[in-house]
Amino acid sequence: MASTTVRADAPGVRGAEDKPGSTGGLGTPRSERAQGEREFKFTLADFDKVRKLIYDHAGISLAPAKQDMVYSRLARRLRACGDATFADYLKRLEHDRGEWENFANSLTTNLTSFFREPHHFEVLAEELKNHKGARPIKIWCAASSTGEEPYTLAITACEAFRTMDPPVRIMASDIDTNVLRQAEEGVFRQDRIDRMDPERVRRFFLKGSGAQGGYVKIRPELARLVSFRQVNLLDSSYPIQGPVDYIFCRNVMIYFDKPTQYAVLKRFAPLLKPDGLLFAGHSESFLHAADLFKSRGRTVYELTNATRR
């Protein structure tokens, strides 16, 4: 999303024996066998209600093939709440607003890494070096997930300005409160930075020792550049003080249908400065919103009526 960001699992790959309705060489269809083996009763009506709830709440469009994924993730919540059936759990959501947060967190996916789709950070670095506008430069990371992306933005800013105190402020948001808490801590497993240049690691991370061995922590100077807060991209307005220079909303829109994408982009547009840029995911295209944004290539967009510096 993405964290909105707001994101469901990427489509899985099914073997022939796993296709809906296939017997897999046995006498009973897979869907019936799975239902019989499940701890909780999970009907098609339950699944359809989950799909509607998460779509209405977070804009996530769950494909029919996601039924097993939904069961697996929400079964944990049934155990935690002590509900005997999915029908009981879904009824709970009607009056337990606190459980809504857990419900949404369970159905969002947070696939991320440092310097993912690196060409975007190369573009941003050049933009920052040539920036002639007002400062501080404002960047909104609209799907921060566990923090790798906003901290990558902070590293890029420090390197572009050759200082640990660049004139940049990064606002990072996600719908998932669990990943936001993790992102604020700024602690990552060592293997998350194994492919990063050693000098970059030395400059921007602290290595753990003793009980913290195998972990790294973002240096305080870098962490000060980033602030985190919960934002649902489906809300009618965002608690983001514009105008902002750059919006990173990558690999989130692919989980929204076209009308939802357009509605989000329509809210993004007035938040961007006239010469601002929107960075999208590698498989995202906004041709259906040509009245709002136009492509500069490599999934970087500017306002259709942009006035570039």
The catalytically annotated residue of 51, 77, 83, 174 is 174
What is the C-alpha to C-alpha distance for residues 5 and 249, in angstroms, rounded to an integer? 7
What is the C-alpha to C-alpha distance for residues 255 and 248, in angstroms, rounded to an integer? 16
Residue of 47 and 307 predicted with greater confidence: 47
What is the C-alpha to C-alpha distance for residues 218 and 127, in angstroms, rounded to an integer? 24
Per-residue pLDDT at 201: 94
Amino acid (one-letter) located at 281: G
For range 264-272, the mean pLDDT: 96
* Domain topology for 24-106: Chemotaxis Receptor Methyltransferase Cher; domain 1 (1.10.155)
The catalytically annotated residue of 73, 77, 219, 250 is 73
Structure confidence by residue, pLDDT tens digits, 134-161: 889 999 999 998 899 999 999 999 999 9
Q: Which CATH number fits domain 119-188+218-303: 3.40.50.150, 3.40.1080.10, 3.30.110.70, 3.40.50.20?
A: 3.40.50.150
Per-residue pLDDT at 110: 63
Contact, 236 vs 10, CB < 8 A? no
Concerning whether 174 is annotated as a catalytic residue, the answer is yes
Residue of 61 and 300 predicted with greater confidence: 300
Contact, 20 vs 63, CB < 8 A? no
Three-state DSSP class for residue 274: strand
Radius of gyration, CA atoms only, the chain: 21
Report the predicted TM-score, pTM, of the whole model to 2 decimal places: 0.71
58: its two tokens:
């977070």
The DSSP secondary-structure symbol of 40 reads S
Structure confidence by residue, pLDDT tens digits, 100-137: 878 887 877 666 778 888 999 999 999 999 998 888 99
Domain segments of the chain: what residues? 24-106, 119-188+218-303
Concerning whether 73 is annotated as a catalytic residue, the answer is yes
For residue 20, pLDDT beyond 60: no
For residue 300, pLDDT beyond 90: yes
